[in-house]
Amino acid sequence: MGCTSSVYALGRKKKVTIPEVVVYVPAIRIPLQSDLPRALKGVIPKELVDRLTCLRNQIVLVAEDTDGSAITELRRALEEYLTLLIGLTKKENGLEDLVEFKWKNLGDYGKQEAFVANSWFELLSVVHMMAMLTLSDANSLMIPKDFSGLAVRVLSSDCKREAVDLLLKASGYLEFCIKNIIVHIPPDIKIMLPKDLQDGVLEAISIQALGQGTEIQLGLAVDCQKATLSVKRRLACELLIYYSQAYQCLSGCDINHGHGKKHLWFIKWKFLEAKAAAYYYHGLILDKGNEPSCHVSAVCCFLAAEEILAESKKACLTFSLAPPTTRSPPLWGAMKHLHQKIPEVASRKSQMYGYLLEEEKALQALPELPNFQLSLRPDNYELPEIDQAWNTEKWEIESQTLKEHLKDCENNTRSDTESE
């Protein structure tokens, strides 16, 4: 991506819309203008400073003017910026703390949330932004372009599989943040990080992405005539485990910030849906047994699934109304099928085996769900190769005269005074 002016018009009035959520994106963080030339002048070659500044400014411009919707252009710019940014994190270069990088949450207009003089923070923020854009891309894929508000939503299997691939990719970005970036941030800097960059929050989103990928797979299994009950139960139980893990990660974090409480309600909603699905499919398998106790246990599962499904509807409404307000999608995939089947089967089976429920009251304990090894894993992510511009043997750094140095100091003092 070059450094020409962006084609996006500045100052355009943005239309306020209530977004629809299929794949939940907790918050997209975008960069604010940061004075790289001032911090790096005379330290690294001017051409390298100009490239770093130009690419970062372009990301700022496109992100702010499109509200992060220009995913392809932003992703390309972020990937190119990363090849240069890596050089600032190399210990041998001694540049880790020279630049104060500025970021904010998209939509928090006028609120400059984080000013951190650490290049590992910048690297964390860039990879986090790539993850959020990837989740946003998956969400767009799951919302048909020709959808006109009808109750029926049709998506191709290829589109769903592509969304699963994006979810695994986003999970990989976040896992890389946790294992390979945050560990390099000093403790005194780490406590200054925004709440949505906490380890537990990042881990919750990473696991949640795997859960949403499993949810799409469950929907594909429901639509496939060859998929067995055992396969559907396994996917439903895995889905429940993913959301249980995500909830545990997030509940241990400080969620009293922007999207924190809404994020927790999303996971609660999806956890309840998964639990209802798991009990329903477990009940269908138990009901195939010949013993009266099998039918009693099955009915207990169906009744539990019906009750949990009702709770999930309330959780969905609470999530949608929690700020920032969003629209939940019409029923799709597995849940479209289950919202119809669970009440129907629960009613029919409880009537069919009502006499057993009376006779076998001692056996009416809710059966335990089986435990399965999780199938989906985050994609492996590695940083790109460092740009050849960081080959210090070829550097020619212009020396700064005393007059220029004093002028810079005067300008810096004036800028700091004005910012106060």
What gap in Å lies between CA 376 and CA 245, rounded to an integer? 14
What length is written for the chain?
420
What gap in Å lies between CA 335 and CA 328, rounded to an integer? 13
Question: Given this model, what pLDDT does residue 330 score?
Answer: 84
The mean pLDDT of 58-84, rounded to a whole number, is: 94
Q: pLDDT-derived band of residue 411, with 50, 70 and 90 as boundaries?
A: low
Model confidence pLDDT, tens digit, residues 323-351: 889 988 788 889 999 999 999 999 999 88
Model confidence pLDDT, tens digit, residues 233-268: 999 999 999 999 999 999 888 887 668 899 999 999
More confident residue, 311 or 93: 311
- In the three-class reduction of DSSP (H, G, I as helix; E, B as strand; rest coil), residue 24 is classed as coil
Q: pLDDT-derived band of residue 195, with 50, 70 and 90 as boundaries?
A: confident
Separation in Å, CA 57 to CA 60, 106, 278: 5, 16, 48
Instruction: Please say whether the dihedral angle defined by the alpha carbons of residues 187, 192, 197 and 199, taken in this order, is positive or negative.
Output: positive
CA atoms in the 13 A half-sphere facing the CB of 149 = 0
Strand stretches in 176-296, DSSP E: none
Any residues with CB less than 8 A from the CB of 287 and at least 6 apart, and which? Answer: 294, 295, 298, 349
- Spell out the domains of the chain, with CATH numbers in brackets: 29-143+155-363 (1.25.40.280)
First to last CA, the chain: 36
Neighbours of 415 (CB within 10 A): 12
Model confidence pLDDT, tens digit, residues 167-193: 999 999 999 999 999 999 999 999 889
Model confidence pLDDT, tens digit, residues 358-404: 666 545 678 999 999 999 999 999 999 999 999 877 787 765 543 44
The mean pLDDT of 218-247, rounded to a whole number, is: 96
Question: Given this model, what pLDDT does residue 192 score?
Answer: 86
Q: In this model, does residue 18 exceed pLDDT 90?
A: no
Model confidence pLDDT, tens digit, residues 120-168: 999 999 999 999 999 999 999 998 876 545 556 678 899 999 999 999 9
